[in-house]
């Protein structure tokens, strides 16, 4: 028994030590890199740091058509095309690392996995405490869809019919759609799912009455996968989409902002929006 206790203690001490080490390396490695980058050219303005020389690594959750999703094993979408253009503009190669939506902001903060988080992030003051947002490159709205078999909720009465007890609205957890439903349909039950596709699957299988998520996503889902559902409400909430960058890397944010502005001016962004939406 005694031996066992000591063993437990030793293991937990080892774990704490490991965490501590990890913490140190996470905390110390970055500034060291920054110094390295800065020291040789003290005169020049601070350089942006990239995970890999010459490559812009973006983190994205490819389950959000038409912004980014997997098609024949490749990640495609508006944001993918846009960041290809941005990387071109910056003279960099683009690399996409898939990651779950809720893991992207933590990963960008922690560093080591990617330079920019690009996954339909809307600008939000709470998120802005953790990371920096780039310039916005898309403005999206919210929409609510129900199954065709549901005749109780129609385009005419949607705003009232959705705000009722017993109505279950599927949302993607942690998104602005969730916040919108909580604010505007307080009587309905909000049912969060891990991603947008699951929200629709849940509605189709009867676990939820309706889905509330971004307009472009709803439109794409209805067109591609759910012909038996339709949109009942469209709300021009005007959410501004932007990419997220670590607060330690303000130069990268500036460079991205410059590239986004340029693409806005030369019409590339408009072209891409016409292509995808």
Partner 1 sequence: MNKTPCFTPASSSPIARALGRLAPIVLAAMMLLALAPASALALDTAKCTARPNGSTGSEVYGGTETRVTWEGQADADEAITGLSIVFPQGTTFNDDTTGKARITLLTADQSQRLGFLDADYALDGETFTATLDEPAQAGGYLRVEIYGVFFPVSGGEMVLSGSYTLEDGATLPVDDIQPIAVTGVSTTGQITSWLSDQEWVQAWNSNRFLRMFLNPVIIVDSFPVVFQGFLMAVAIVAVAFPLAIPLGLCLSLMRMAKLRVLRGLASLYVNVVRGTPLFLQIYIAFFGLPLAGLSIDKFPLGVIVLAMNSAAYLCEIFRAGIQSIPAGQTEAARSLGMNGAQTMIFVIIPQTVRRVIPTMTSEFILLYKDTSMLAAVGVMEVVMYAKTIVASTGSITPYIVAACFYLVITLPLAKVVGRLEARLAGGGRRRKHRGAGAGATRPLEGTDSAGVTAYVTDALTSQPVIKNDAPDAGR
Interface with partner 1 by CB under 8 A: which residues? 1, 4, 19, 22-24, 26-27, 30, 101-103, 105-106, 109-110, 124-127, 130-131, 139, 141, 170, 173-175, 178-179, 182-184, 186, 190-194, 198, 201-202, 204-207, 233-236, 238
- Tokens standing for 108? 């960008």
- Tokens standing for 156? 């005419």
Q: Is 37 helix (H, G, I), strand (E, B) or coil?
A: helix
- Tokens standing for 227? 């012909």
Q: Give me the least distance between CB of 154 and partner 1, in Å please.
A: 13
CB 248 within 8 A of CB 111: yes
Neighbour tally for 9: CB within 10 Å: 10
- Rounded to whole angstroms, how far apart are CA atoms 75 and 62? 6
Q: Give me the least distance between CB of 247 and partner 1, in Å please.
A: 10
- Tokens standing for 78? 């508006």
Of 69, 82, 67, 58, nearest to 271 by C-alpha is: 82
Nearer to partner 1, 87 or 191 (CB): 191
Q: Give me the least distance between CB of 125 and partner 1, in Å please.
A: 6
Q: Give me the least distance between CB of 69 and partner 1, in Å please.
A: 18
Nearer to partner 1, 55 or 164 (CB): 164
Torsion of the alpha carbons at 139, 172, 60 and 67, rounded to the nearest 10: -40
Nearer to partner 1, 174 or 277 (CB): 174
Nearer to partner 1, 85 or 232 (CB): 232
Nearer to partner 1, 235 or 258 (CB): 235
Q: Give me the least distance between CB of 11 and partner 1, in Å please.
A: 12
Residue indicated by tokens 């490695």 = 29
Nearer to partner 1, 57 or 172 (CB): 172
| Widest distance between CA atoms in the chain | 74
Q: Give me the least distance between CB of 41 and partner 1, in Å please.
A: 26
Could you check whether the bond before residue 142 is cis, i.e. omega within 30 degrees of 0? Answer: no
- CA 196, 197, 203 angle in degrees (round to 5)? 95
Nearer to partner 1, 105 or 146 (CB): 105
Cα dist from 145 to 204, 207, 209, 211, 271, whole Å? 11, 14, 9, 5, 28
Q: Give me the least distance between CB of 68 and partner 1, in Å please.
A: 17
- Rounded to whole angstroms, how far apart are CA atoms 73 and 124? 31
């Amino acid at each position: 028994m005694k031996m066992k206790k000591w063993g437990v203690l030793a293991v937990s001490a080892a774990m704490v030590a490991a965490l501590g080490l990890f913490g140190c390396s996470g905390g110390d490695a970055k500034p060291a890199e920054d110094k390295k980058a800065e020291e040789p050219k003290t005169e020049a303005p601070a350089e942006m740091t990239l995970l890999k020389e010459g490559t812009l690594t973006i983190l994205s959750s490819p389950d959000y058509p038409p912004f980014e999703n997997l098609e024949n094993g490749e990640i495609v979408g508006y944001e993918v095309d846009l960041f290809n253009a941005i990387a071109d503009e910056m003279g960099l190669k683009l690399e996409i690392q898939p990651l779950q939506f809720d893991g992207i902001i933590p990963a960008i903060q922690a560093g080591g996995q990617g330079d920019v988080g690009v996954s339909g992030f809307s600008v939000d003051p709470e998120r802005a405490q953790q990371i920096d947002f780039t310039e916005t490159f898309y403005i999206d709205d919210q929409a609510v869809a129900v199954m065709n078999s549901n005749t109780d909720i129609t385009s005419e009465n949607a705003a009232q019919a959705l705000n009722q007890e017993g109505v279950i609205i599927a949302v993607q957890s942690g998104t602005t759609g969730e916040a919108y439903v909580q604010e505007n349909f307080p009587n309905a039950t909000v049912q969060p799912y891990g991603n947008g596709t699951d929200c629709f699957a849940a509605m189709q299988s009867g676990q939820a009455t309706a889905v509330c998520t971004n307009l472009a996503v709803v439109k794409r889902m209805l067109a591609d996968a759910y012909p038996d559902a339709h949109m009942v409400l469209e709300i021009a909430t005007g959410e501004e989409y932007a990419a997220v960058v670590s607060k330690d890397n303000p130069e990268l944010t500036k460079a991205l902002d410059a590239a986004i502005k340029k693409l806005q001016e030369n019409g590339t962004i408009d072209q891409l929006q016409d292509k995808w939406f």
